[in-house]
Amino acid sequence: MKVEDLLFIAVGGAAATIARQIAEDAPAPMRTLILDTDDAVLQTLTPAAGLSATIFGAKRLAGRGTGGDRSLGSGALRDDAALVLSQIGTPRLAIVLTCCGGGTSGAVPCLLEMLRNQGVATMTFATEPFAFEGADRRQCATVMLNAIASASDAFARVPLDSLLSEAQLSRPADEAFRAVAQRLAAGITLFGSLLAHPAFIAFDIERFLRLLSGSSGSGLPCTFADITCSGADRAEVALQALLSSPRFRPEGVDRLANATQVLVGVLAGDDLRLCELGTLMEGVREHCREAREVLLGTSRLAPAEGALSVVVIAFSLPGADIAEKPEVLLSEGGKKASKRKTARSTPQLGVVKDRFNDVEHTIYHGQDLDEPTYRRRGIRLNR
Ligand SMILES: Nc1nc2c(ncn2[C@@H]2O[C@H](COP(=O)(O)OP(=O)(O)OP(=O)(O)O)[C@@H](O)[C@H]2O)c(=O)[nH]1
Ligand SMILES: [Mg+2]
């Protein structure tokens, strides 16, 4: 893979902070572009290898934030589309990160369309605000998350609450915020390292693009979790932590067990043993009975000596008819209970379970306008 093939793009103030964290902690630099309307945020960024930052929308925002107005965010990007495209260059895959709840993320659907028109595939990580942020921010975020999901090739919706542990709730806010940013940074770093520095069993950009080509072309939804541990039984510890991770269980449904495709990325140094790969893959395959394939990728980029990092990404192929599949729910004791869902009365193309959850749907003349037009009309997209 050429360095230019992969680009990490962070949009908005909080995403910029996380990108800086990634640039500081990554074992090898990833080409990174930070985009923000707010000059003050970019001034706080310390230089790091591979990191560049660009202000957009200065004409309408004079180097300030949008004040939470997402239409200003998208207008600002349109103003400076040519400038931003020149910074992006011609990567094959862009990993995009934005934290929804402010206005600058309003630029992201427009950015994703621009990337699509340039033939750049996109994997977007978009965070959902903390519950305590209130209804306004959550509502703004919900609209953005739906728009971003449709415009991305693959899309991970990450509730910030899911990255916060019980213990961190009673820590100072600044510390808790940093811990959340660090968790997200670690996951994205592992994913980027896996693609950019494949070894032994490679899962490189080409393989990822092949995986994306199996989707109908609109926001292949995924959930992910990662863990780093060391010690003699590190593979077993990692496996158990991942299988029980709350990050795979938004609304109590085990997204990993219900996934149609699963990617297991293992990052370790020369001490990686084949039996560790066996433990991880057998454990994940056993858990993901619904998966058509469980793919493995390895990288020699270990975050620390003696450490084993594993990132698991669970995809739900929109083409898969999940209505026919047993959905694994968690009972109160945390045990799995299999429940066969009743078939939907109207066959739907690209049924995606999590994209439109928790949304107050806009119904007009009996039609759900929050449902993408192609899906409402049963049009199959060819890409
Ligand atoms: N983990 C973490 N999340 C943050 C932090 N600050 C903001 N967020 C989250 O990010 C969301 C968006 O905030 P910002 O990134 O500041 O907003 P913006 O995209 O720059 O948009 P505007 O400033 O409104 O133009 C918030 O609603 C929070 O959910 C932070 O310091 N740490
Ligand atoms: Mg801002």
In a domain, 313, yes or no: no
In a domain, 242, yes or no: no
129 CB less than 6 Å from ligand 1?
Answer: yes
In a domain, 237, yes or no: no
The two tokens of residue 322 are 């999940």
In a domain, 120, yes or no: yes
Please name the residue whose Cα sits nearest to atom 28 of ligand 1: 129
Q: What is the CA radius of gyration of the chain?
A: 20
In a domain, 246, yes or no: no
Q: What angle do CA 211, 212, 217 make, to 5 degrees?
A: 150
User: What is the tally of structural domains in the chain?
Assistant: 1
Q: How far is the CA of 67 from the centre of ligand 2 (A)?
A: 7
What's the pTM?
0.84
Please name the residue whose Cα sits nearest to atom 21 of ligand 1: 102
Q: Return the ligand 1 atom nearest residue 141 CA.
A: 27
181 CB less than 6 Å from ligand 1?
Answer: yes
Burial of 50 (0-12, 13-18, 19+ CB in 10 A): middle
Task: Single out the residue of 107, 91, 86, 82 nearest to residue 16, CA to CA.
Answer: 107
180 CB less than 6 Å from ligand 1?
Answer: yes
Query: What b/e sequence results for 155-170 when a residue is b if at least 16 CB atoms lie within 10 Å of its CB, and e otherwise?
Result: bbbbbbbbbbeeebee
In a domain, 296, yes or no: no
**How far, in Å, CA of 107 to CA of 103, rounded?**
8
In a domain, 234, yes or no: no
3-state SS assignment for residue 269? coil
The ligand minimizing its distance to the Cα of 168 is 1
57 CB less than 6 Å from ligand 1?
Answer: no
In a domain, 241, yes or no: no
**How far, in Å, CA of 350 to CA of 155, rounded?**
14
257 CB less than 6 Å from ligand 1?
Answer: no
| pLDDT score recorded for residue 349 | 29
pLDDT string in tens for the chain (383-residue length): 777 899 999 999 999 999 999 998 888 889 999 999 999 999 988 888 889 999 999 999 999 999 999 999 999 999 999 999 999 999 999 999 999 999 999 999 999 999 999 999 999 999 999 999 999 999 999 999 999 999 999 999 999 999 988 888 888 888 989 999 999 999 999 999 999 999 989 999 999 999 888 766 678 999 999 999 999 999 999 999 999 999 999 888 899 999 999 999 999 999 999 999 999 999 999 999 889 999 999 999 887 899 999 999 999 865 444 444 445 555 444 445 544 443 333 333 233 333 444 445 455 444 555 555 444 444 444 44
CATH number at 51 reads: 3.40.50.1440
What is the domain range of residue 113? 3-196
